[in-house]
Amino acid sequence: MSKKLWGTRFSKKTSALTDKFTSSISFDYRLAKYDILGSIAHAKMLAKQKIIPTKDAASIIKGLNFILKDVQSGKFKFDFQAEDVHSNIQDILSKKIGKAAQRLHTARSRNDQVALDIRMYLKDEIDEMADLITLLEKTILKFAKNNSKIIIPGYTHLQVAQCVLLAHHLLAYISGLERDKARLIDAKKRVDLMPLGACAFSGTGLPIDRGYVRKQLGFKDLTANSIDSVSDRDFIVEILADLSILSVHLSRIAEDLILWSTREFNFIDIDFSFCTGSSIMPHKKNPDVLELIRGSVGKIHGDLSSVLILMKGLPSSYNRDLQLDKPPLFNAIDTMKDILEIFIALFGNIVIEKEAIAAKLMDESLFSVDIVEYLIKKGVSYREAHDIVGRMVRDCLDKGKKISSLTDHELKKYSDKLKPDVRKILNAWVSVNLKSSYGGTNPALVGKQLNLWSKKLNA
């Protein structure tokens, strides 16, 4: 078992229960790579500043590089009895290089180390997640471009509303995802601060060079207050909040696709490779992948709550409670990466049910707003136009008639402004073409947006 870094002061051995209860190695072993890289930079700085002999630093760095190789190849055997990853690596280093290892912890505390490790870990993970979001956006964009001539009935309140281009609907997803990515990238600014040198919490009298360590580790800046360095985890809360918003977006997209794949909608077919069956109902093809994407929001939001509650009311500076920030952080990031990965694959395999969609566009109530606007263009007030079309739609529904089948005479009864040419607008293409205000579903505008997104996402 790894040696305790603080054992000498204790007159008695800690209880086995305490060891088990306080240990974090079962989850923080994942930070080993960052812990070692941080230690290498720290040792280099200590030697440069003549705080430790160059010879000892060289031996420390050599030993750490050995351990790093083992960690990266998966050969390193973690001691799951150790208190944490920091103790475990320190212990192995001591066993490897002997006395020189005792100088590594000069001007450093595990409070600093863990803050450093999480920040390094997060910088990598943010980049990975941002890349995955871009990949998902590109997959959705490709799907939109491949189906740029498809019009679907759009819904508000889950009731048929108006015609929109499928591509327009899909670009709405990309708009949200792009903001999610921007939020994560922005949060990285606040993660990208190097905390080593807090020396537990008040700084040190030894002549350390924090700027040198910062440069070695590729951080943008230094944390400017030693207490803040070890005390706060607001950057974790921020990432979890960003992931929570992203997960809400993804669950809503999943919900659209689930609805669209039902027999009732029948807009799309989700590939068999992303569905499961029923053990009792042989006819079923269930969208379980999408349902689990939708359900995972609960996990990620739980992780955010968990860290927020953990932080609330903590006295300033480092407290051991902070150790518990990592399981929710790891869980949220792992879950999000799994979701993004499978969503990319699933989206790449969706098939559009063109005929079923086209049949739904026969519902002429989709054009009620177009008729209102037709009347407004002829000088009728908005209120009056709404009443006219309301009456017409209600009569048609009551009598099971189509608007297009009304005679010239019948049209005139609703308003003398309703001329035979109104029938021309009872058409999905005419309808989407009419929506030419900036941000609308007019095909030329949507075409421009598709090109803009292509350029942006491929830049």
Min. distance of Cβ 2 from ligand ARG in angstroms? 13
306 forms part of the interface with ligand ARG (CB under 6 A): no
User: Taking CB under 6 A as the rule, does residue 319 contact ligand ARG?
Assistant: no
Please, are residues 392 and 403 in contact by the beta-carbon 8 Å criterion?
yes
In the complex with ligand ARG, which residue's Cβ is closer, 50 or 320? Answer: 320
157 is catalytic: yes
Active site residue 386: no
- Examine residue 256 and tell whether it contacts ligand ARG (CB under 6 A): no
Q: How many CB atoms lie within 10 A of CB 214?
A: 22
**Binding flag, residue 258, ligand ARG (CB under 6 A):** no
Which residues are CB-contacts of 112 (< 8 A; sequence separation ≥ 6)? 195, 196, 197, 198, 199, 200, 229, 230
* Pick 99 or 320: Cβ nearer ligand ARG: 320
- Give me the residue label for tokens 């000088």: 379
Closest CB to ligand ARG among residues 200, 342: 200
> Residues of 306-315 as b/e, b for ≥16 C-beta within 10 angstroms?
bbeebbeeee
Of 26, 175, 278, 405, catalytic: 278
How many residues are recorded in the chain?
459
Which is closer to ligand ARG, CB of 77 or CB of 320?
Answer: 320
Q: Determine the 3-state secondary structure of 188 from DSSP.
A: helix
Contact (CB, 8 A) for 361 and 163: yes
Closest CB 243 distance from ligand ARG, rounded Å: 20
In single-letter form, the type of residue at position 313 comes to G
Q: Which of 111, 223, 306, 441 binds ligand ARG (CB under 6 A)?
A: 111
Find the binder of ligand ARG among 33, 110, 181, 233 (CB under 6 A): 110
Q: Of 98-106, 110-118, 145-153, 306-314, which part binds ligand ARG (CB under 6 A)?
A: 110-118
Work out which of 129, 141, 236, 322 binds ligand ARG, going by CB under 6 A.
322
Q: Quick check: helix, strand or coil at residue 348? A: coil
With contacts defined by CB under 6 A, how many residues of the chain interact with ligand ARG?
A: 10
- Residue 2 makes contact with ligand ARG by CB under 6 A: no
Question: Of 24 and 229, which has the nearer Cβ to ligand ARG?
Answer: 24
Greatest alpha-carbon pair distance for the chain in Å reads: 103
- Residue 232, CB-side half-sphere exposure with 13 Å CA sphere: 15
Closest distance of CB 24 from ligand ARG, Å: 4
Q: Do residues 403 and 426 touch, judged by C-beta distance below 8 A? A: yes
Query: Does 28 help bind ligand ARG (rule: CB under 6 A)?
Result: yes
Stretch that binds ligand ARG, among 91-99, 165-173, 265-273, 320-328 (CB under 6 A): 320-328
What are residue 149's phi and psi, to 5 degrees? -100, 10
Instruction: Give the residue with the Cβ less far from ligand ARG, 114 or 177.
Output: 114
Give me the helix-helix angle, 110-146 and 85-97, nearest 10°.
120
Give the angle 272-277-278 at the CA atoms, nearest 5°.
165
CA dihedral 332, 338, 344, 350 (to 10 degrees): -110
Answer yes or no whether residue 24 interacts with ligand ARG by CB under 6 A. Answer: yes
Catalytic residue numbers read: 157, 278
Residues lying near ligand ARG in the complex (CB under 6 A): 24, 28, 84, 110-111, 114, 318, 320, 322-323
